[in-house]
Amino acid sequence: MERKELETAAAHVTYLRGLLAIPIGMLFIITGLGNLGWGPLGNPLVFLGFLLVFAAAWLGINRYYNDHYGRVTRSHRQQLRYTIASFILFPAAMIGGPILDASFDLPVSAFAAAFALAMLAWFAICVGLRARHLIIWGALLVAALLPMWGAAADKISVAWLPIGVATIVAGIFDHRALVRAYGPAKDLRPESSDVAA
């Protein structure tokens, strides 16, 4: 790796843990389907069961990344940037978007558009935009701004579905970028990789 790559590796490795996005994206999809009362997902207990499964999956995936790709403590400056960007952008999108959709009878999805913009802004601020971010979140933004959402009875719940799909797809691409940069997980066997220095 070159100097710049080495210096940015630690900042980037956290978001490249893309498989963590799969349970989160699944949760978004289940939330949308549950709100729409789709099948058994309308039952709060079933939803809670899924929530626990996704939480367990997230913890398992996080452990896999810690074992195979290591742990990093970001610098205070990086941590501050991540925290401020996350605490401003995501609440703004997840609260402001649905409020706009509920307040105005728009033919577009303000929620999905706000979420896509928040993701693009987050990547631009925290790690730098990559082509895959522009394509995936840009596609969600375009879909959100197509005048086809007026027909949906509950467009906020429907919007969770493409948001969830985009989250999962983006996560898979991020994981692929991680493997390209640091090698496949099998290259380091966790039981033997941490020896006394």
Binding site for other proteins (CB under 8 A): 1, 3, 6-11, 13, 66-76, 78, 182-183, 188, 190, 192-197
Q: For residues 73 and 103, which CB has a smaller minimum distance to other proteins in the complex?
A: 73
Q: For residues 28 and 69, which CB has a smaller minimum distance to other proteins in the complex?
A: 69
Q: For residues 47 and 64, which CB has a smaller minimum distance to other proteins in the complex?
A: 64
Q: How far apart are CA 25 and CA 162, in angstroms?
A: 9
* Shortest distance (Å) from residue 81 CB to other proteins: 13
* Shortest distance (Å) from residue 186 CB to other proteins: 13
Count Cβ atoms within 10 A of the Cβ of residue 54 and give its class: 0-12 exposed, 13-18 middle, 19 or more buried.
middle
* Shortest distance (Å) from residue 128 CB to other proteins: 14
Distance, CA of 167 to chain centre: 5
Q: How far is CA 162 from CA 36, 104, 176, in A?
A: 14, 21, 21
* Shortest distance (Å) from residue 87 CB to other proteins: 20
Q: For residues 70 and 138, which CB has a smaller minimum distance to other proteins in the complex?
A: 70
Q: Give the chain's end-to-end CA distance (angstroms, integer).
A: 22
Phi and psi (nearest 5°) for 127? -135, -5
* Shortest distance (Å) from residue 16 CB to other proteins: 11
* Shortest distance (Å) from residue 8 CB to other proteins: 7
- In contact, 113 and 93? CB cutoff 8 Å: no
Q: For residues 107 and 184, which CB has a smaller minimum distance to other proteins in the complex?
A: 184
Q: How far apart are CA 95 and CA 92, in angstroms?
A: 5
Q: For residues 70 and 96, which CB has a smaller minimum distance to other proteins in the complex?
A: 70
Q: Who contacts 18 (Cβ-Cβ below 8 Å, separation ≥6)? A: 170, 171, 172, 173, 174, 175, 176, 177, 178
